[in-house]
């Protein structure tokens, strides 16, 4: 297993280079780290202070914001579409299967947007705010820092169907995972590095019930531990939470990968990355 620093470095590079803009190459080419240097010079400090307050209050919030960014980027690029409520003209992404009853942190993004609008009205996109907040969340939980390129434009529509079809499910096989990441221009190496984001955050019982009761490539003691808070019967305790990383759920480190080697991946899709090969 590679060192902690290597995996964190790969993650930072992949997030920076692969998920920093719309799938349209022209839009990506316009992104720059100093896009708001004149129009909103205090943007980064404004975002960071609000994120810090939220993460200090509840560390899980950092993982939730990072997940929002990931789920946003997998649907037509990093355009803030996940933040849009349903309208008369489209059904948004928030109630898609990967997001319903699980996507959270919207209130933090709203609070950041309010603070940013007070400082520089009508300048900064919500898509950029989400991208910056995701980086700050990782840093505040002990992970790497990276320069976020900005200049995104906000989506004016959203697609529940695209969210249902494009975002990898916790039941995904290895081939399905590779296909999902490949569809957005990410390699298998990128996929493994980005999956390391599961070193923070929690998951609902309904997402890991089948794994802890039915799968064999799982540490027996770990399965028993997770069964205590996740009853076998569907519909019972579906919303009960367990940490994605049993060792350090609120610290961004490389324990996630060590857990997979020890067959202690919480989700089926996690353990698919390492099955003894």
Extract the tokens encoding 182: 């490949």
List pLDDT tens digits, range 159-205.
999 999 999 999 999 999 999 999 999 999 999 999 999 999 999 99
Q: How many CB atoms neighbour CB 246 within 10 A? A: 18
Which of 261, 269, 209 is closest to 240 using CA atoms?
209
Per CATH, is 168-272 categorized as 3.40.50.300? no
Residues of the chain falling short of pLDDT 70:
1-29
Point out the annotated binding site: 72, 75, 77, 79, 81, 93, 168, 198-199, 245, 253
Segments making up each domain of the chain, as ranges? 42-165, 168-272
Residues acting as catalytic residues: 71
Place of tokens 């994605």: 244
CATH no., domain 42-165: 1.10.520.10
Cβ–Cβ < 8 Å for 68, 163: no
**For the whole model, what pTM was predicted?**
0.90
Point out the annotated binding site for Ca(2+): 72, 75, 77, 79, 81, 93, 199, 245, 253
Point out the annotated binding site for heme b: 198
Return the H-helix or E-strand segment holding 29.
helix 25-29
Point out the annotated binding site for substrate: 168
Rounded-to-integer distance, Cα 54 and Cα 85, Å: 22
DSSP structure string for 243-263 = ESSSS-TTS-SSHHHHHHHTT
Q: How many CB atoms neighbour CB 47 within 10 A? A: 25
**Predicted local confidence at residue 40, as pLDDT:** 98
List pLDDT tens digits, range 142-165.
999 999 999 999 999 999 999 999
């Amino acid at each position: 297993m590679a060192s902690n620093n290597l995996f964190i470095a790969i993650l930072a590079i992949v997030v920076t280079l692969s998920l920093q803009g719309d799938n349209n190459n022209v839009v990506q080419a316009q992104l720059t780290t100093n896009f708001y240097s004149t129009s909103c010079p205090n943007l980064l400090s404004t975002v960071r202070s609000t994120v810090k307050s939220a993460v200090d209050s509840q560390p899980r919030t950092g993982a939730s914001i990072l997940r929002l960014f990931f789920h946003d980027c997998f649907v037509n690029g990093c355009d803030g579409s996940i933040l849009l409520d349903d309208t008369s003209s489209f059904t948004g992404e928030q109630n898609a299967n990967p997001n319903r009853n699980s996507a959270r942190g919207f209130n933090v993004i709203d609070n950041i947007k309010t603070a940013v609008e007070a400082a520089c009205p009508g300048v900064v996109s919500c898509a950029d705010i989400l991208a910056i907040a995701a980086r700050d969340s990782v840093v505040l939980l002990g992970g790497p820092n990276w320069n976020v390129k900005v200049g995104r434009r906000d989506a004016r529509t959203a697609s529940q169907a695209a969210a249902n079809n494009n975002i990898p499910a916790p039941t995904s096989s290895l081939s399905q995972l590779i296909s999902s990441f490949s569809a957005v221009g990410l390699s298998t190496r990128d996929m493994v590095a980005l999956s390391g984001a599961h070193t923070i955050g929690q998951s609902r019982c309904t997402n890991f019930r089948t794994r802890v009761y039915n799968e064999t490539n799982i540490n027996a003691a770990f399965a028993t531990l997770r069964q205590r808070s996740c009853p076998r019967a569907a519909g019972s305790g579906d919303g009960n939470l367990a940490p994605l990383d049993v060792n350090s759920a609120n610290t961004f480190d490389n324990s996630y990968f060590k857990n997979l080697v020890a067959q202690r991946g919480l989700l089926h899709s996690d353990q698919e990355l390492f099955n003894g090969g």
